[in-house]
Amino acid sequence: MSAIAYITDSKMLELHRLNNHRTINFWRPSSNINFTEFGEGDLLFFLSKDKEHRKGREKGIVGFGRMVSFSVTTVKMMWERFGIYNGYRDLSEFKEAILKVSKDKKLPSRISGFYLEDVTFFQPVYLSECGMKISSNVESYIYLKPEEVVIKLLDLAKESKDLWTDLNNNEIIDREKLLYVLDASHKKIGDIPSNEKGYKRATRNLKKYKEEHEGYEFIRESRNELYKLGRNSLDIVFYHDKEIDERILIGQAQLYRYQLSSYYGKDVAVRFLSSDEDEQLNYYMNALL
């Protein structure tokens, strides 16, 4: 999971904040936005020009959302599709905002938009508080790296409550932090080594398990690991293929526990789904952990 901080129109943010919008269309005047490390499921943080720190003019981050989809279309169609969720009360106000940031002061033939869910607002948090220095001259967006910066930013967001939109904020921030940590852990650890046939068998069996057990989802980009978030716990299900050495699987589980305990405070329960559903094996392997 990646994260970026994008310069954002404060007037647009204020409309979303006061209306407590949890889904928004984060539009940009260009249709040629190409990201090498940003896509579906990643986090977009709002970098506000109007929330500069009194020392050094550092811009403050005042919220974020999870990117669900990306679209490119005309201004009129963007308004017809998203309306007030573009951040303005009517089409004329929307066009005025686009003209304001257009380089040639003309309405572009097409604009782009990031559709965001689980949008959350909070009082300004500054990246310098998270161990990352940024220029006061940022004009578009920056990637937030390393992972510790994003984790610290989410922790500070919980402490910087916005009294107008505080409903369920902590729950959303906790969930997004967990997903971010899970993805970061998977990127460091990787899938359990197997051949393509083994991966397909694991995916097939875990999909069946997911359908039969409520609340489980695949860890992002993983083919043989599921997770389920509880109120005070996190369950991870690994698929144990007959061709995989049990010691490798146990090592994989231990690495996840170590990574998650370093970044996230919940108890981690590990379960193994074997190709022959051998419960004795599952008990044995959990005992070794």
Kindly report, residue by residue over 62-95, the tens digit of the pLDDT. 999 999 999 999 999 999 999 999 999 999 999 9
- Model confidence at 219: pLDDT above 80: yes
Domain boundaries, the chain: 3-175, 190-288
pLDDT for the residue numbered 59: 87
- Rounded to two decimals, what is the model's pTM? 0.84
**If one looks up domain 190-288 in CATH, what number appears?**
3.40.1350
**If one looks up domain 3-175 in CATH, what number appears?**
2.30.130.30
Q: Three-class SS string for the chain?
A: CCEEEEEECHHHHHHHHHCCCCCEEEEECCCCCCCCCCCCCCEEEEEECCCCCCCCCCCEEEEEEEEEEEEEECHHHHHHHHHHHHCCCCHHHHHHHHHHHCCCCCCCCCEEEEEEEEEEEEEEECHHHHCCCCCCCCCCEEECCCHHHHHHHHHHHHHCECCCCCCCHHHHHHHHHHHHHHHHHHHHHCCCCCCHHHHHHHHHHHHHHHHHCCCCEECCCCCCEEEEECCCEEEEEEEECCCCCHHHHHHHHHHHHHHHHHHCCCEEEEEEEECCCCHHHHHHHHHHC
Kindly report, residue by residue over 226-256, the tens digit of the pLDDT. 988 876 678 888 887 776 677 777 787 888 8
